[in-house]
Amino acid sequence: MSASAAAPARKPAAPAIFSPATLARTDALLRKMSLDEKLGQLNQLFQFRRSSKLDGMVRDGKLGSVLFVADPVEINRLQHLAVEGSRWGIPLLFGSDVVHGHKTIFPVPIGLAASWDRGMVERVSAIAASEARADGIAWTFAPMVDIARDPRWGRIVEGAGEDAYLNAAMATAQVRGTQGPRLGTPDRLLATVKHFAGYGASEGGRDHDAANLSQAQLHNVYLPPFRAAVKAGVGSVMSAYMDLNDVPATGNRWLLRDVLRGLWGYGGFVVSDNNAVNDLVSHGFASDKRDAAVRAFKAGVNMEMASYVNAYTHLRAAVDKGAISVPEIDAAVRPILATKIQLGLFDHPYSDPAKAREIAAQAPAHQEEARIAAERSAVLLRNEGALLPLDRSIHRRIALIGPMAHARQDILGPWVFAHDPKDTVTVAEGLRAKLGDSAALAVAAGVQLKRDAPSPFESIFKEKDAPTWDAARAAGEFDHALALANNADVVILALGEKQDMIGESASRSTLALPGEQQRLMERVVALGKPVVLLLMNGRPLDLAWANTHVPAILELWYPGAQGGAAAANLLFGDASPGGKLPFTWPRNVGQIPLYYGHNLTQDPSEQDRRYWNEPSSPLFPFGYGLSYSTFAVTDLRLSKPTLLAGESLAASVVVENTGAVTADQVVQLYIHQRHGSASRPARELKGFERVTLRPAERKTVRFTLGPEELSYWSSATHSQVNEASTFDVWVGTDAQAALSATFQQQ
């Protein structure tokens, strides 16, 4: 191999977040403020319900931000205290986890990622932002871009799955949608990219456990989505909870200064995760709260999020003792003040009821987007004998069975605060509305789902699904459901995981369908009826049995408020599924971690035989998803056979809808570098495009491969390299695409 070309010292990714006018106004304000007032801006506290606990702190300028106040009246009350009661009238920054919608609930992030639709994700992020901003919230703690390669980890539902490129694409779309073209766009929010960094790699998928990642894994897999968010102009970054290679992320100077600010040129502020500064003591890293505050601050955490008491109250003593200088405090406060100015909070600090009415009037259009988003997120995993879409003339008696059939809250997934349950369309309601009197619909839960150990968020996610049947009926419910199924032309099994079985502090050691759902499914299938499995969940579940016994499997994720309407459209063919898996779907829990971007072994022909008791291949590959139509991807062309490092080439394919219905396909491009200073993954996604095609319609899809796609961080050189090598390219409809070409980079 010839020497690698001058590796591009990557240019800092970050655009300027603040305008010169904002910076001038910030400095003028900073010059007037006392040390205590500056320190106050570094504190953020929780407040769930109206209470006067914070009033004094707000008036005295001891608080820069509050999270979780959802009531616009309370937001304005506190804001009046800040603006009229404090010396410089610095408004509070109200934050909340607007993760997949505010009033209108869209599919959970893993579902949105499964749409592979950047434009749609940008649109729904913008809607969520407009609804939250109308309520007085100016800041959301999203997007989460943590790579998740262990689906036992509950927070896989909050991100875009296993792949760096897809996570980066979704991060970019979410930041643009949330913030608008620039920070301070009216009706938008300040976004936060989180959790910096490596949180998804917690050992064993146990939430908050330590992550141990090589520099190569960090630079090539875990950090790129954060870099993409920074490049898109994200205005805040949240530090993660866990130890990263023995240094807690919230006290990790390398992450927060060397990489984030140094390498990438990020100019916004960093907020800790909740209590993560105090937790530096629990980690056995800081000696006490004061040490924790100083070390987090020095590492680069500007603002501390805390539930009760901020460790940052110790910063004053640290300044007095000379451990921290006033210029250091100024540097930490500056981006916080600049953000408030750039967001327009000084000019419009209050939520505006007229604006709120205007946004509320758009609710029908927002619900329509939610339905479209749910349809575009769905992934068809199996469809033997083209059972789907159902045929109204044949399937006249329908049994909808399972605990998700009536789910009004569980269909939404985690992180839902401001939504009105009346706005949710359950699967049962969606089907009823679609079918009217044209078909008989019988519905029964069959089994009950319950998380054995209570969730720590019980009090936060207070809305729960009411049981659709009481304990007294429980014994008979199972048989009742079977009787309904036995009387139907087709059975739709609505199974999954409850809202509190996934998300933060909701890791599981198994992927089995929870509760008695597997038994219910097996008994229903034994009746010999056509069965459709409709899944509502946020992680891959163990479908090994279902995949050989149930003819049709449709993954809906937690589809959001219009999930029932979307399900009905998909089941009856008024929408064709076009989503693709954002992770590799394992056969069972023992295969974890299983991801497509692994390195080759010494004998790649053995790739699928590395366990003797079963294949090591997945049940469904990354990027997989069927359609009601069929497609051909042909004619892969590269614009040139060789290129010099630093140059780009174009790849193109023709995709054609060869079936009978209009449908979507996601064309995906993967590469492999055959040799270099380090081994490279067998395949890496480097481009994708979702297209809609009518029957017989063809489209040419083009991709660009250049230094951004072809360079990587090498463990051999400890730097970003762009090497001379042979590269394979595959283009197709999942990570096992067969259509290929090669090129040389010199």
Closer of 141 and 264 to ligand NOJ (Cβ) = 141
- Whichever of 115 and 274 has its CB closer to ligand NOJ, that residue is 274
Residues 147-186, one symbol each (x = binds ligand NOJ by CB under 6 A, - = not), give ----------------------------------------
47 binds ligand NOJ (CB under 6 A): no
Pick between residue 65 and residue 104 the one whose CB is nearest to ligand NOJ.
Answer: 65
- Output 111 or 578, the one with its CB closest to ligand NOJ: 111
Angle (deg, nearest 10), helices 326-342 and 289-299: 70
Residue 97 or 555: the one with the smaller Cβ distance to ligand NOJ is 97
- What Cα–Cα distance (Å) separates residue 580 from each residue in 144, 377, 667, 688? 20, 8, 10, 11
Are 441 and 506 contacting, i.e. CB atoms less than 8 angstroms apart?
no
Of the candidates 37, 243, 304, 504, which one interacts with ligand NOJ according to CB under 6 A? Answer: 504
Q: What angle do CA 496, 502, 504 make, to 5 degrees?
A: 175
Dist CA 667 CA 245 (whole Å): 37
Q: How far is the CB of 307 from ligand NOJ (least distance, A)?
A: 9
Closest to 285 in 3D by CA, of 311, 261, 324: 311
251: amino acid identity, one letter: G
Give the integer Cα–Cα distance in Å for 127 and 103: 9
| The one among 79, 104, 274, 668 contacting ligand NOJ by CB under 6 A | 274
> Cβ closer to ligand NOJ: 97 or 243?
97
Does residue 332 contact residue 297 with C-beta atoms inside 8 Å? yes
Classify the C-alpha dihedral 112-113-117-123 as positive or negative. positive
State the number of binding residues for ligand NOJ (CB under 6 A): 6
Of 274 and 313, nearer to ligand NOJ (C-beta) is: 274
Tokens of 361: 């009037």
Rounded Cα–Cα distance for residues 238 and 248 (Å):
13
Q: Which of 194, 340, 366, 672 binds ligand NOJ (CB under 6 A)?
A: 194
Residues 663-682 contacting ligand NOJ, CB under 6 A? none
Select the residue interacting with ligand NOJ from 106, 141, 226, 596 (CB under 6 A).
Answer: 141
Nearest C-alpha neighbor of 292 from the set 331, 318, 262, 259: 318
Q: Select which of 273, 410, 465, 664 is catalytic.
A: 273
Q: Which ranges of 180-314 would DSSP assign to H, the alpha helix?
A: 215-217, 224-231, 253, 279-282, 289-299
Q: How far is the CB of 275 from ligand NOJ (least distance, A)?
A: 8
Q: What minimum distance in Å lies between the beta carbon of 36 and ligand NOJ?
A: 26
Minimum distance from CB of 273 to ligand NOJ (Å)?
Answer: 5
Q: How far is the CB of 141 from ligand NOJ (least distance, A)?
A: 3
In the DSSP assignment, the letter for residue 183 is: T
Rounded to 5°, angle at Cα 273 from 285 and 347: 135
Please answer whether residues 621 and 596 qualify as being in contact, where contact means their C-beta atoms are separated by less than 8 angstroms: yes
Closer residue to ligand NOJ in complex, CB, 18/141: 141
Active site residue 273: yes
Q: Is 273 in the site for ligand NOJ (CB under 6 A)?
A: yes
At its nearest, how many Å lie between ligand NOJ and the CB of residue 274? Answer: 4
- 3-state DSSP of 35-103: HHHHHHCCEEEECCCCCCCCHHHHHCCCCCEEECCCCHHHHHHHHHHHHHHCCCCCCCEEEECCCCECC
Closest separation in Å from C-beta 579 to ligand NOJ = 25
Q: How far is the CB of 233 from ligand NOJ (least distance, A)?
A: 20
Closer residue to ligand NOJ in complex, CB, 460/739: 460
Instruction: Read off the tokens for 221.
Output: 């897999």
Helix (H, G, I), strand (E, B) or coil at 673: strand
Q: How far is the CB of 534 from ligand NOJ (least distance, A)?
A: 29
Interface pattern 88-117 for ligand NOJ (x via CB under 6 A): ---------x--------------------
Instruction: Give the residue with the Cβ less far from ligand NOJ, 150 or 504.
Output: 504
Q: What is the nearest approach in angstroms of ligand NOJ to the Cβ of residue 199? A: 8
- Provide the residue count of the chain: 746
How many Å apart are CA 174 and CA 123, to the nearest integer?
9
Copy the structure tokens of residue 379.
Answer: 């992934």
Q: Which amino acid is at 111?
A: G
Region 9-38 residues binding ligand NOJ, contact defined as CB under 6 A? none
Residue (141 or 743) nearer to ligand NOJ, CB: 141
Specify whether the backbone of 683 is left (phi greater than 0), alpha (psi in -120 to 50) or beta: beta
Question: In the complex, which residue's CB is closest to ligand NOJ?
Answer: 141
Binding residues among 557-596 for ligand NOJ as defined by CB under 6 A: none
| 8-state DSSP, 663 | E
Kindly state the smallest distance separating residue 299's Cβ from ligand NOJ, in Å. 18
Copy the structure tokens of residue 76: 């304005």
Estimate the crossing angle of helix 471-486 against helix 517-526, to 10 degrees: 30
**What is the DSSP track for 684-731?**
EEEEEEEEEE-TT-EEEEEEEE-HHHH-EEETTTTEEEB--EEEEEEE
Handedness of CA 465, 471, 475, 477 (dihedral sign): negative
Rule CB under 6 A: which residues touch ligand NOJ? 97, 141, 194, 273-274, 504
* Catalytic center residues: 273
